[in-house]
Amino acid sequence: MMKRVRIAWPGGEVTATLRPTATAATLLAALPLEITANTWGDEVYFSVPFSADAEHDATEVVDRGAVCFWLDGDAIALLFGPTPVSTGDECRLVSAANIVGHIDGDPEILRKVRSGDHVRVESA
């Protein structure tokens, strides 16, 4: 059975379907999380209270709507478009991340997240 999380902030919410990975299991075990959002280009990220090892498919360039665990920053990153280090329209993190899952539906709603927003991440 696929595991899902709900990510909610004052201006909206999304759900995401998680992949069956060690990092996703660590995230699920840490829920619920109450954190503060940051933005960087078309990326929303927030620090989490755990670390993870790089998985075999860790990468810097991901699909639009990817839910990532940024290895260098112990943060969840939600990418919905280009960042300051992207080439063209690619979704690029500043360094490698594990791909934890994917936003359900259109990730464009993440544009409504503002730096400093209170975010709750919980099982869906």
Nearest one of 117, 95, 100 to 44, comparing CA atoms: 117
pLDDT digits (tens, 9 = 90+) for 18-35: 999 999 999 999 999 999
Average pLDDT for 114-124? 97
Confidence check: pLDDT of 10 > 70: yes
- The torsion angles phi and psi of 30, rounded to 5 degrees, stand at -90, -10
Residue 2 pLDDT greater than 80, yes or no = no
Which contiguous run of DSSP H or E holds residue 25? helix 22-30
pLDDT band at 1 (very low <50, low <70, confident <90, very high): low
Residue 76 · residue 111 · CB < 8 Å: no
* Burial profile 54-74: b = 16 or more Cβ within 10 angstroms, e = fewer: ebeebebebebbbbbbbbebe
**Share above pLDDT 90 across residues of the chain, in percent, rounded to a whole number:** 98
Phi, psi angle pair for 3, to nearest 5°: -95, 140
Beta-bridge mates of residue 4: 17
| CA pair distance 31, 75, nearest whole angstrom | 14
The residue-averaged pLDDT of 88-92 equals 96
- How far apart CA 115 and CA 105 sit, in angstroms, is 22
Domains and CATH numbers, the chain: 4-123 (2.40.100.20)
| pLDDT exceeds cutoff 80 at 5 | yes
Q: How confident is the model at residue 51 (pLDDT cuts 50, 70, 90)?
A: very high
Q: Which residue has the tokens 């960087």?
A: 40
Span 35-52, average pLDDT: 97
